[in-house]
Structure 1
């Protein structure tokens, strides 16, 4: 190749596409008019990522790189490319109709990712690594809950077919009482009784260990979430698990979500058009991140149970003739709007550290405070410890203590 030809290559604008896998990434390069230039495969190692970036830059100025799987198999390449100043765009895998039409292979998928970056069909920035620790703790805590549930179900199944003496003694117990009783067992009797009791004891101890593990992980998760976004965690009805899920869905760089409507759509809480002919209506979105949708649902249930404003809203909607399902849908949309503000803006959290010392200095019990405000003592205790947030109650509580 002549020096003039090499200069032309360096001066041209190119777009990259990456199809990522466990051990390899397939990289494709296209020109700014969509022409295929080259593709190659590289290992998912530091040296492989460096070689892949060198391969891209050798064909011209890299405008953007579309990567499939930026938060999974392509996370390593994404991290390396962004550290070298390249614009990385998150690309969804091609839909089934397109795959049936064009076929499926690593080069095909890599070129499709590059075309998605060129055409503007893919525009989302990948999530950064600031919520990586929250994601790891959240996933591990949820897996502990699933394993605990499986062990509890297995205990019930063993008791169904257990000998009558065992079933009558332990089958009537429920919850923690059953687990504690089975964990203290000393298997004895004939071979059948010994085997069944040994199995039940093992399962009960597994339940206790997983419960303790989940509590430890939840405390660590709560600390991480509170440090990352104290305003989100302090919002009424948002616990460690729901806050973590919303942060994972949004990513550590929430500026990638341009509007609260886009966040609602991401959580599957935005209505979508379902009109045809003379019919003009909307239906509930069934897409988006369903785990984030579940988090919004749990927040809605908590607020319907204990939040005064939400209960008043539900009462008004019931009087208007709406069903409970419709009301929850409306609440999820409103909660999505509030969560978007918590994720994208810095909220000032009113201090509550002075409440308990002030109460104790005046020898006032939790029961007295609860009776005055018409709430449970647990509500006041959680407010004092920062486990739940109610700014109106906190202000009224502080004024009452100062005047007492």
Structure 2
């Protein structure tokens, strides 16, 4: 299946890679029911869906709830299969569905998608916490710009809402534009206070939920509730990685060989799961400081 928000294109492939069916279905109730009815003619079936941790998650969850077997096809694998099958990289829904079917048929060890309510809840909460953090960063940036225009030299880089409020209280512009700047800055400070409260509540909820899983990730220096939750939801079942080298390649921490001739050197990878990479880099940085006694 090549999934989208409002539609899904499927191709039905037998074990010998013979295409025996396919079609495009809407993802509303009627379209989903029609797709299930169409697929019911093949009693022994497994759904191979691209991006079950992303765009394909919504329809994978519905199929799981209906007792279907689902495996996750990584987009990189289906992209390679498309190039090999067609000789070029042009994308259509039909060619995408065909390449996904090829991967699902040929590849052993694709990760089965399971309906883990605890991980699903963790994902919702950690995504919300990340969104709050992004909102905070954006608002602080806007507030700094306004304060720079209201106060010569602006404010210090590390600025709390309370400090910004105290600074703003010293400013009394008389012109219309200055008054508008001050009003918008005051609104941003109010928004920052609300985001801070929600972030604090989200951290508390995440901490309790992560602790209930029995993991000891938060015992590591540099791993907080958000980092631990992100590791749990993205990694899911660690046994899907044959060894630590595969795990390092997946999260982008494995160095890439860039040797030439007698010169042996490596460079940082920009590939892999960047969210996990960010968490692990933060862990590594704190670990170095801790070992140094900082």
TM-score band (shorter)? 0.7 to 0.9
Is it true that 1:91 corresponds to 2:79 in the alignment? Answer: no
User: Per the alignment, do residues 273 and 195 of structure 1 end up closer, same or farther by CA in structure 2, a change over 3 Å counting?
Assistant: closer
Within-5 A mapping of 1:5-154: 18-45=1-28, 48-59=31-42, 61-62=44-45, 64-83=46-65, 86-93=68-75, 94-95=78-79, 98=83, 101=88, 103-120=90-107, 123-126=110-113, 128-129=115-116, 130-154=118-142
Within-5 A mapping of 1:221-300: 221-251=206-236, 253-274=237-258, 283-300=267-284
Is the radius of gyration larger for structure 1 or structure 2? Answer: 1
**Kept in 2: contact 1:185–1:197 (CA 8 A):** no
Distance of 1:41 and 1:101 partners within structure 2? 23
Distance of 1:274 and 1:173 partners within structure 2? 38
**Kept in 2: contact 1:91–1:122 (CA 8 A):** no
Deviation at 1:246? Answer: 0.9
Aligned length: 287
User: Per the alignment, do residues 182 and 148 of structure 1 end up closer, same or farther by CA in structure 2, a change over 3 Å counting?
Assistant: farther
Distance of 2:163 and 2:226 partners within structure 1? 27
Distance of 1:237 and 1:170 partners within structure 2? 32
Note the alpha carbon deviations across 1:10-38, whole angstroms, 9 max, x for none. xxxxxxxx111111212211222212211
Note the alpha carbon deviations across 1:190-237, whole angstroms, 9 max, x for none. 434422321221222222221222111111111111112432223343
Deviation at 1:250? Answer: 0.5
Residue in 1 that maps onto 2:292: 311
User: Per the alignment, do residues 284 and 128 of structure 1 end up closer, same or farther by CA in structure 2, a change over 3 Å counting?
Assistant: farther
- Which secondary structure does the structure 2 equivalent of 1:137 belong to? helix
- Which secondary structure does the structure 2 equivalent of 1:107 belong to? helix
Q: RMSD over aligned Cα, in angstroms?
A: 3.2
**Kept in 1: contact 2:241–2:247 (CA 8 A):** yes
User: Per the alignment, do residues 50 and 194 of structure 1 end up closer, same or farther by CA in structure 2, a change over 3 Å counting?
Assistant: closer
| Residue ranges of structure 1 left out of the alignment (5+ in a row) | 1-17, 313-374, 376-404
**TM-score of the pair, normalised by structure 2:** 0.82
Note the alpha carbon deviations across 1:36-73, whole angstroms, 9 max, x for none. 211122232455444434423414532x3211121233
Residue in 2 that maps onto 1:368: none
Within-5 A mapping of 1:209-228: 209-228=194-213
Deviation at 1:298? Answer: 0.8
- Which secondary structure does the structure 2 equivalent of 1:287 belong to? coil
**Kept in 2: contact 1:89–1:122 (CA 8 A):** no
Deviation at 1:268? Answer: 1.2
More helix by share: 1
User: Per the alignment, do residues 109 and 75 of structure 1 end up closer, same or farther by CA in structure 2, a change over 3 Å counting?
Assistant: same
User: Per the alignment, do residues 268 and 127 of structure 1 end up closer, same or farther by CA in structure 2, a change over 3 Å counting?
Assistant: farther
Distance of 2:92 and 2:143 partners within structure 1? 46
